[in-house]
Amino acid sequence: MAEFVTLEVSDGIGTIRLDRPPMNALNRQVQEEIRAAAREATVRADVKAVIVYGGEKVFAAGADIKEMADLSVAEMTDIIGDLQSALGSISEIPKPTVAAITGYALGGGLEVALSADRRIVGDNAKLGVPEILLGIIPGGGGTQRLARLVGPSRAKDMVFTGRFVGADEALAIGLVDQVVAPDEVYNAARAWAAQFVGGACRALAAAKAAIDEGLDTDLGGGLKIEQHLFAALFATEDQKIGMASFIENGPGKAQFTGK
């Protein structure tokens, strides 16, 4: 039974809840519990979309520095791959994912949020990668996912300075997608996730894979990935249902089975 990270499912939406007071510091136990929750959300058929939520006051204020302060280079070399893959495990969920952020999302906390497909924040949110102030750099995927999201120049500004970015600036640079009142963050995330509960889940997974995998190659390679995933969907029930419904009733009325 997980101590700090749980998956709660209702109405087709899974909520991965981080709950390690006071600041949801991401020690190794929390990291592995995030990985386990992401895996559970992946395999559960009743989960159609996923919210990652740290609670009403804070998303996650980074790694547990006390846990890593005295590690040697050999010890960190042994565990950095696990740390990186655990914080990035939300990106491996083949379903729409959204990070619901109130308060601080810093360091490893922001890296978890960057692994989601979308980020919704309260207007009190503070986001950043302040590792440089500790004499290190982001190691949970931050240098790579941040640069891909906001571009290298803005990513370097954030990483080099370690400064915190407020909600309005985060929206302006594309770091987040929506800003709401803090007490509306979770509801806004549920509203976004609810769109996909009755959706064609295999097509959604294919769309996510096509975009994410395509970003790791050139245009030609990405188009090949798209071709393969597009053609494979013609083996699904949802493709037959969706096209038959369109012909008979017009768009948007199909009742998908998820098969």
At residue 62, the pLDDT reads 87
Looking at the chain, the domain(s) classified CATH 1.10.12 span 201-249
Residues 77-97, mean pLDDT to the nearest whole number:
96
Tell me which residues are annotated as active site: 111, 131
- pLDDT tens digits along 192-218: 999 999 999 999 999 999 999 999 999
Task: Please say if the pLDDT value at position 247 is more than 90.
Answer: yes
Which CATH architecture group holds 201-249? Orthogonal Bundle (1.10)
Contact in structure between 114 and 146 (CB atoms under 8 Å): yes
Kindly report the CATH number that applies to the domain delimited by 5-194: 3.90.226.10
Q: How large a percentage of the chain has pLDDT more than 90? A: 95
Looking at the chain, the domain(s) classified CATH 3.90.226.10 span 5-194
Contact in structure between 86 and 38 (CB atoms under 8 Å): no
Residues 162-180, mean pLDDT to the nearest whole number:
98
Q: Going by DSSP bridges, is the β-strand pair 97-101/49-53 parallel, antiparallel, or unpaired?
A: parallel
- Please name the residues in contact with 105: beta carbons below 8 A apart, sequence gap of 6 or more: 54, 59, 60, 61, 99, 112, 113, 121, 125, 126, 127
Average model confidence (pLDDT) across the chain? 96
The band of 2, judged by pLDDT with boundaries at 50, 70 and 90, is confident
The band of 1, judged by pLDDT with boundaries at 50, 70 and 90, is confident
- The dihedrals phi and psi of 98, each to the nearest 5 degrees, come to -140, 135
